[in-house]
Structure 1
Amino acid sequence: MHYVQIKRMPGCEDIHLPVKMTELAAGFDLHAALQEPVVLNPGERTLIPAGFAMAMPGGLEAQIRPRSGLAYKHGITCLNTPGTIDADYRGEVKVLLVNLGQEPFVIERHERIAQMVFQSLPQVELQQVEELSDTVRGAGGFGHTGK
């Protein structure tokens, strides 16, 4: 079990802290902590505050991901997805949203705007070498195996 400390930002006492909407949900829903509604026009992007900061233990990462309903129904998704929050970040969590839909979308205070999924990180050490081992794939990439 990992414990993550959550701190509400000033003026956000009424904003829900991250919450799982079902018992087996992978992600915690994040809510908009806006002072006023924001209109997100097609093709525009904006940062939406989530009303909290957090402290995670080392070896943990929080990923910010789109909500499927907003993406499907309105074309609202996250840029830089999944967005990574590092264990040493202590600022307010914000969500970078973009409107890929055809209509303006109004984001209201308290609206569920994204989800946050926690991931454990392996310990990795990079080693510089002169040659890499061969594989069947080799250096093929970007569609080299066909459609």
Structure 2
Amino acid sequence: MKGGELLQPSIVTIQIMKTPGNEDISLPSKMSEFAAGFDLYAATKDSVAIAPGQRALIPAGFSLALPVNMEAQIRPRSGLALKHGITCLNSPGTIDADYRGEIGVILINHGEDVFSISRGDRIAQMVIQYVPSVEWEIVQELPSSNRGAGGFGHTGV
């Protein structure tokens, strides 16, 4: 297989609704043809200033109805992280298939300066993922592996 080849030629339809008062806020959108994430936009009424070390919940102006076998992951934007130290506090944040409220993004400022977010600014990205159905199988012993029980840093990194 070559890079850029389409693995699953399918489109998933997801219902999305702008929350009241946010008709001017862009829906999640991809910034390039093969981007994995959809950029999310701030739906704040006023500008929000986040001081260094502080966090804020920023509304995204929409709700969705995901299929039961999917989740939406909210992730930081790399440009905001690199240039300003702005990231998502619980990353990735998970939007479950049964959640119907407005999507919000918890941003934290790890930078040195106050960071201001204005209405319509790109604040995070959302990646849609499949979630498999899982059944637990209780066993008395797990199969062996090369790693075994090696934990954090076991490879020397």
TM-score, normalized by the shorter chain, greater than 0.5: yes
Distance 1:36 1:27 in 2: 26
Residue number among 48, 51, 64 corresponding to 2:58 in the alignment: 48
TM-score by structure 1 length? 0.96
* RMSD between aligned residues: 0.9
Secondary structure of the residue aligned to 1:102 is coil
- Indicate yes or no: 2:138 matched with 1:124: no
- Indicate yes or no: 2:153 matched with 1:143: yes
Amino acid aligned to 2:154: H
Amino acid aligned to 2:92: P
- Indicate yes or no: 2:45 matched with 1:35: yes
1:91 paired residue number? 101
Secondary structure of the residue aligned to 1:106 is strand
Distance 1:25 1:139 in 2: 36
Amino acid aligned to 1:76: I
- Indicate yes or no: 2:36 matched with 1:23: no
Superposed displacement of residue 105, structure 1? 0.2
Distance 1:69 1:77 in 2: 10
Bigger drift between 46-55 and 122-131 goes to: 122-131
Residue number among 2, 25, 28 corresponding to 2:12 in the alignment: 2
Secondary structure of the residue aligned to 1:34 is coil
* Seq. identity, %: 63
Distance 2:30 2:143 in 1: 43
Distance 1:71 1:84 in 2: 19
Superposed displacement of residue 133, structure 1? 1.7
- Indicate yes or no: 2:40 matched with 1:60: no
Amino acid aligned to 1:69: G
Distance 1:137 1:22 in 2: 38
Unaligned runs of 5+ in 1: none
Superposed displacement of residue 9, structure 1? 0.5
CA offset digits 1:24-60 (Å, max 9, x no partner): 1111110000001111000001110000000011111
Amino acid aligned to 1:62: A
Superposed displacement of residue 122, structure 1? 2.0
Amino acid aligned to 2:64: M
Superposed displacement of residue 146, structure 1? 0.9
Unaligned runs of 5+ in 2: 1-10
TM-score by structure 2 length? 0.90
